[in-house]
Amino acid sequence: MQVLTAEEVSGAALGTAVTIGAYDGVHLGHRRLLAILRTRADALGVPAAVVTFDRHPATVLRPDSAPKLLTDGPQKLELLASCGIDLVVVVRFDAERAEESAEDFVDEVLRGALGVKAIVVGEDFHFGHDRTGDVALLRRLGAAMGFDVTGVALTAAEDADRNGDDRPVAVSSTRIRSLIAAGDVAAASRLLARPHEVRGEVVHGDGRGGSLLGMPTANVAVPDAVAVPALGIYAGWCRRADGGLHPAAVSVGLRPTFTRPGGERSDVPPAPLVEAHLIDFTGDLYGEQVGVAFVERLRDERRFERVEDLVEQMWADVDAARRALADV
């Protein structure tokens, strides 16, 4: 799969079949749409291209309420490649781009840079300044510029929640973020078609894991922009830089046993720490980039009065994680 910026694209003569969007998560709904794009591209004999952005548009449009990301940039590209996409065009999204009209975006990027022959988007797709662009506008422009447009109905998971009228809730990045924030990583995995994974460098912690607790953990520095599950203990997998996959008991927490109640107050809540104990693993992970995939929530985080009680519970968590992962 080729990855280019909008300025680097020079394949207009070839033509493309294109979809456009943030594609955060590359979830079941995205995958269905990408499969339709792949089929349309093959029928036309042109590359299948995804036009996406270098950051989530909400970070520019409404930075105070921008959503946490389900995938960072490299993850998103890996997942798009796994869906059979030929070309990803990464468009810089800034204040100037946010003011661009839908018509200018189509003329500049889709027709001018990509020579678009077909567009495949969700039926609720909106783009351009003030979200004035939609499927209807694309069809009008397509009639004049020579491309066709397919609007794809939203995908609903078979076991999704139901609305008041018993219609299943559509698969969406928003819904998945909500599940992850609630700690329901199993349900999020079903909508993602994979476990939710966060990535970061293994950094030095406070040193308690091995010396005091007898259970070394990899402290993963997850970027603030990435969605982390609710506080709690999870069964999951730790993916090392060499591709090795290790079962793990994972804590997302604030270390309440070692946090003094009534300590310093702050208007900014402390960020949760992601700590993974790799089961039956010995070795040094410091400085390594790893991924932590969340499979099942085991319990809430809680405070223990005695360190001995915490240690006993941690080993019970390891056993529970081992059982949860045995058939995965």
Q: In whole angstroms, what is the distance from residue 176 CA to residue 185 CA?
A: 9
Nearest-angstrom CA–CA distance, 186 and 232: 14
| Interatomic CA distance for residues 168 and 158, integer angstroms | 8
Condensed to tens digits (0 to 9), the pLDDT of residues 227-260 reads 999 999 999 999 998 888 999 999 998 875 556 5
pLDDT greater than 70 at residue 207? no
The model's confidence at residue 84, banded by pLDDT at 50, 70 and 90, is: very high
Mean pLDDT of 147-173: 72
Query: Whole-prediction pTM value?
Result: 0.88
Q: What is the pLDDT of residue 52?
A: 95
Whole-number pLDDT of residue 260: 52
- Mean pLDDT over residues 122-144, rounded? 93
Residue 41 banded pLDDT, cuts 50, 70, 90: very high
- CA-closest candidate to residue 29, choices 133, 120, 122, 166: 122
Strand partners, 327: none
What's the Cα-to-Cα distance from 72 to each of 187, 222, 242, 281, rounded to whole Å?
Answer: 21, 10, 19, 27
Residue 55 is given by DSSP the state S
What gap in Å lies between CA 60 and CA 97, rounded to an integer? 10
Residue 265 pLDDT greater than 50, yes or no: no
Give the domains, in start order, of the chain with CATH numbers: 2-152 (3.40.50.620), 196-325 (2.40.30.30)
